[in-house]
Structure 1
């Protein structure tokens, strides 16, 4: 065989290897393979809150069955709504034994007015292997920023519009509200959303059943009054069992040795982890966790990880909210004479 032929074959092999490296595997699985992405970042005078209203588990919704969640909204004095987003958390979407995407009509109801919700973003995940029960789960996000402008009771309702016999269940609905107002403190926030199904079973270990969301950018921790981490996990904590069924990590690597990690935290600061923070039951099947994380902030590239250890859960929302201190040299609103 000539040297030229060998060189050409080698080049073809290299090209083939590079092409294979570009092929990514199917991302649906029980592993943390669909990390939540930052869809909103901003900094201004305002406030942020997240609520599940009176969410409860719907059971199986057949064609024309309806579901509704109510929210009591009270705008801070002198503020307006800058951002409003609704999240519909659904599971067990199927037609017979086949997993499919749900079909439903969603509406916003307020003061007797019914407003159909159009478009939206659908995030989905499945167990990712051939099974009789590989049904779809997910979250649909709707932008309501132009629709919610005053205090009052708002309801988000939906109806199964599929005429082919397919069904699904709703675990609950979340509502994110961001206010802005000149009398409110300066806040900075990252809103991450998506759907990552996590389950440390069937060959998936806890390290694999971990999803991580990043809050990119630099911060000055010395000027921060509070830092809140908000995470949402449908199904989180519903499974029974002993030990750490689920864990939340903030700025801490999940593979660290627990004892050494605790010593490093005490001596040098750094990240933190908590176990079994998500708790749900037959009625309330969406876990909402909010905690202060100011002690564990880093000056750059903060992140949160959610880990399953045989619990089975979905990771759908991760929000970091920083509230800044008042400037020390801020002038009073009505300075007296001679000041």
Structure 2
């Protein structure tokens, strides 16, 4: 084979290699917060709605009602802006916008803490950017009340983007609340089982590292956020959530093993969105499937097309001498 043919073949292989296609699960969410104390946790999308295309100087706003548990204070507050279709003409670019927190007529500009992005990753038309901006609001939201998070497209070059919604994470602490242990994972992974990507490839996994005692757990919840999740329709499973379960197993036999010996769990089509509400928020109990170490959650696409941006594992511990020591 001559050099020219070898170069052509190499380029073709690069185009079809799964790691080059961002429709695969190639950007797993990372743990940004881990803690253990007496408190509680809440994640809300407020009155989020799909914005449509935002042009220069156009704005978008989401309202939130904050009601901390009695006797508690707000330890952590984080906001997430979920956006898609960021472009200038037919070129995918990063969006430009300013974000503010509004409360009782007071407007506080927010500084971006982190930007997570992903694209389809191969040369084609409409390879526009999608992502999530994270903001630290700790200290800005300090008590109950009605808050709003607003943004304005500041790109004067004519570039546009769409906002799917805004999420608000609140973590409380209070001496009368139960002892909780939690992992907050965030990022942006675009999944789509098309163009040579099968569902196994279109799977992203979030890990919750650490050792726990399942016998000391009163309740446990897994919270996941998926912009665009469930917007496609069809009779087959378009998306799937796994907790402490491998994404590939032998049908029927795998179910029997789980029934007889316990283990992880999976759920089909848990994310549902529509033209108006385009961010899916799911919370489900997972206490029965906890492991003493190596807990993880996976999200899989099967022709749906979705983003995975947040995965939170929240554990409420039993009242015991050990939990008291852990909290202190």
TM-score, with normalisation over the residues of structure 2? 0.92
Q: How does 1:86-125 map to 2 (within 5 A)?
A: 86-125=79-118
Partner of 2:275 in structure 1? 282
- In the alignment, structure 1 segments of 5+ residues that lack a partner are 1-23, 332-339
Partner of 1:244 in structure 2? 237
> Residue 86 of structure 1 contacts residue 143 of structure 1 at CA under 8 Å; is this kept in 2?
yes
Name segments (4+ residues, structure 1) moved above 4 Å. 24-28, 328-331
Partner of 2:310 in structure 1? 317
CA distance in 2, matches of 1:174, 1:87: 5
Partner of 1:40 in structure 2? 33
RMSD of aligned residue pairs (Cα, Å): 1.6
- Per the TM alignment, residue 326 of structure 1 is displaced from its structure 2 partner at its CA by 1.4
- Per the TM alignment, residue 120 of structure 1 is displaced from its structure 2 partner at its CA by 1.8
CA distance in 2, matches of 1:209, 1:86: 27
Structure 1 residue aligned with 2:171, among 178, 190, 203?
178
CA distance in 2, matches of 1:27, 1:302: 28
* SS of the residue 2:233 aligns to: coil
> Residue 19 of structure 2 contacts residue 26 of structure 2 at CA under 8 Å; is this kept in 1?
no
CA distance in 2, matches of 1:77, 1:46: 11
CA distance in 2, matches of 1:310, 1:185: 41
Partner of 1:200 in structure 2? 193
Partner of 2:249 in structure 1? 256
* SS of the residue 2:37 aligns to: strand
- Per the TM alignment, residue 258 of structure 1 is displaced from its structure 2 partner at its CA by 2.7
Partner of 1:141 in structure 2? 134
* SS of the residue 1:258 aligns to: coil
Partner of 2:78 in structure 1? 85
Larger Rg: 1
CA 329–119 in structure 1, closer or farther in 2 if over 3 Å, else same: closer
CA distance in 1, matches of 2:142, 2:64: 14
> Residue 122 of structure 1 contacts residue 138 of structure 1 at CA under 8 Å; is this kept in 2?
yes
CA 27–48 in structure 1, closer or farther in 2 if over 3 Å, else same: farther
Partner of 1:7 in structure 2? none
CA distance in 2, matches of 1:69, 1:163: 24
TM-score, with normalisation over the residues of structure 1? 0.89
- Per the TM alignment, residue 119 of structure 1 is displaced from its structure 2 partner at its CA by 2.8
Which stretch has the larger CA shift, 268-277 or 255-264? 255-264
Q: Does residue 1:54 correspond to 2:47, yes or no? A: yes
> Residue 28 of structure 1 contacts residue 125 of structure 1 at CA under 8 Å; is this kept in 2?
no
